[in-house]
Structure 1
Amino acid sequence: MPFIFNVKRAWIVAVLALAACTQPWQSVAPGADVSALIARLGPPRETYKLPDGGTRLMWPTQPMGFTTTAADVDASGKVVSVRQVLQESEFARARVNEWTRSDVLINFGRPVETAFFPRTQREVWSYRYMESNIHNMMFNFYFDQEGILRLTQRTPDPMRERNLRRF
C-alpha cells in the first residue's frame, strides 16, 4: 500500500507543478471583454494602435525580466489574442529589410537597451528573453539611418550569464 500512496502523491505533485506553470493571462479566452484581462493583469504599461483599428496592450517585465505579455483587442473591446512575445517564435516573425522601428515597437514593446554604432551607422534595440526556457539571452534589432530593420542577432545576456561576468 505505501507504494500506491507514493505514486498518488507524485501524481498530485506533478499536476500541481504543471498548474503552477500556467500564466495569469492564459485564463483569459479570446472573445472576452478587455476589462477581464485588465482585472487579471492590471493596467497595461504600453499601448499601441494596430492598423486594423484594434489596440495592442503590453505588460513588460523588462528591464530585469524576460517576458512581455501582449494582448490584441479589437475595436469593440474584445480580446483577439494574448501571448508572450519575447520568445524565439515571435522574433522569427521580424522581416529584415521590411520592418521599421515602429513595427518592432508595436510587436515587442520598448527595448530594454538601445545603442548607436557610429562606424556602421546602426542603431540597435535589445530585449531580454529566455531561449528554450534555459539560456538568458538578448535579442537585438539593428536599424539603418532611415529606421529600416537590417539585421537581427541573438547574444548571451551579459548581466545574467556567469561566464560572461568575468570579463
Structure 2
Amino acid sequence: MGRATSAAVLAVALALAACASDPARLPLGSTRADALQKLGKPTATYPLPGGGERLQYSREPEGYEVNNVDLDAAGRVVAVRSALANPIFDSPIEIGKWREADVLRTFGKPYQVTRVESFDGKIWSWQFMDNYVPRLFYVYFNPEGVVVRYFAGDNPALEMTGK
C-alpha cells in the first residue's frame, strides 16, 4: 500500500471514529451503557437534580467543544447539548447566584484561569467557535467564587500570532 493510500485509509478511519464519538448522534432514550460505549469515558461526571447524571465530554483546553449528555434517574439520555455552541445567548448562568461548581457542571474545566490587576477575583475562559472564528468565553468570579459577569471576546493569543 502506498503512502497516499495509507493516508486516505487513515483519514477515513479518523472521520468514522469522529462520527461514532459525536455526542449529537446519540439518540435520546439511549442507556448510560450505550453512551459510554459510543462516546467513551467522559472527562467529568456530575450529579443532576432528581437523581440524574451529567456525562461531560470536553475537548478543552486544546479544542473548542464541551458536550453534556444528561441522564435521568433511570439512566436514560434525556438531553445532549453543546455547552459552547453559543455560550452568550444560550447561557443559563445566573449572575450573583452561580458559583464555580455550577459553571464547571455546565461548561467543564476552563481553557485557562487568569487574574488581572483591575479585578479582584478569578477569570475563567473557554475556547469556542463563533461562525468558524476562534473566540473566548469569559466568566468572572468575585473572591467568594460567585459569578459577577460573563462575556465573549476575541482570543488575544491568536491576535499576537497573527492567525
**TM-score where L is the length of structure 2:** 0.79
Q: Deviations over 1:36-90 (max 9, x none)?
A: 1111111111111112221111111111100011100112111111121112257
Which has the higher Rg, Structure 1 or Structure 2? 1
Give, as a single letter, the amino acid of the residue that structure 2 aligns with 1:139: F
Shift of 1:153: 2.1
CA distance in 1 between counterparts of 2:142 and 2:103 reads 14
Query: 2:73 is matched with which residue?
Result: 75
**TM-score where L is the length of structure 1:** 0.77
Moved segments of 4+, more than 6 Å: 20-23
CA distance in 1 between counterparts of 2:40 and 2:21 reads 14
Contact residue 122 and residue 141 of structure 2 kept, 8 A: yes
CA distance in 2 between counterparts of 1:80 and 1:149 reads 28
**52-61 vs 87-96, greater mean Cα deviation:** 87-96
Q: Secondary structure at the match of 1:152?
A: strand
What are structure 1's unaligned runs of at least 5 residues? Answer: 1-19
Give, as a single letter, the amino acid of the residue that structure 2 aligns with 1:59: Y
CA distance in 2 between counterparts of 1:35 and 1:145 reads 40
Query: 2:127 is matched with which residue?
Result: 128
Shift of 1:112: 1.2
Query: 1:157 is matched with which residue?
Result: 155
Give me the CA root mean square deviation: 2.2
Q: Secondary structure at the match of 2:128?
A: strand
Instruction: Count matched residues.
Output: 144
Contact residue 111 and residue 126 of structure 2 kept, 8 A: yes
1:99 maps to 2:95:
no
